Structure 1
Amino acid sequence: MHACNLLVVCISSPLHYAIYDDDRLLESFSIDEKPSTALPLMYQRLRESSMRVSGIYYASGPGNLSALKLTHTFLHSWAIVESIPLYATHSFALLPEHYIYAFGKKHFIMRENIAPSPTKSPEQNLALITANIECVLCENPPHSPPFTPPAVLPKSSFCLPCEPIYILPPV
């Protein structure tokens, strides 16, 4: 079995994932299902392949609350059961030009693109990132480009705590 790294972006539907060998992109996939269906499908496809996941890198939010909870629980459980290292970054590190859907007509935006720093603690990085994310009312958000996985896995961006980033806007 060949070892590879897995990148997962499941902050709503569809789920996007990419396979990296030696931190270089091999393949990327999308599953246009709800996270509760897409995550097990991704897992099943990976188990049926000849690849062994040696690291899981994922976007921990912001995003749809249900998707974030499911993704975190699924990936964290998988990482524990199979002793796979788990790494997290914020959604905007992988979707920099996007309005990320929150609910109704509300979307998350990042006021200034701040990258997590490996020289800071995960908690310091999280505080900087969350302070820079805003929930805005947007009748017609600009069309976001489709998700494109990076050609090289940006491991230095994955230095946030492995927990969902819940940003609850006022209702």
Structure 2
Amino acid sequence: MTYLGGPGDDRAKGSGDGPQAVAPEIADAVESLADLWSLAAQGAVLRLSLHQLRALRALEVAPGLNLTGLAERLDIGLPTASRLCDRLEAAGLLERALHPHKRREVRLSLTAHGRHVLGDVADRRAQALGVALAGMEPAERDALSRGLRAFLGTRTGRAPLPGDATSGK
């Protein structure tokens, strides 16, 4: 059976570098990067799980979130978020404080130690990534940088992924 394809389908033109042909290579690269990211984080001052790191990062980006806001950002349930915060608070990485105007709301924020741990993880990840990038030719690094900027541009809402709420699929 011959594949006829539709307009804009690179397979129909016989191209080996169309989106569907390149996607598995990129998926492999992302998996390798995730492994590098995780290994670099494990060498940090304090070993944290991926969920714990994501929670700290969410609080770094949006200080003062409440438990519901954190759970939504992490796409986890409230009981799970509460237990996660309990562990982070016990480790001295986050603190809870009553909202100044809403008596029933508790705000979450990083402690100085939490910010230090995140900084250590970021430094270790940057070092590991630097080592990986040093093995590339300058033109390859430049092409990678341009490609990542283009990818990030598509993720700002111009090209939703299949299954995204905004994609209609």
Q: TM-score, normalised by structure 1?
A: 0.23
Specify which structure has the bigger relative contact order, considering alpha-carbon pairs within 8 angstroms and separated by 6 or more residues: 1
The structure where strand makes up a greater share of residues is 1
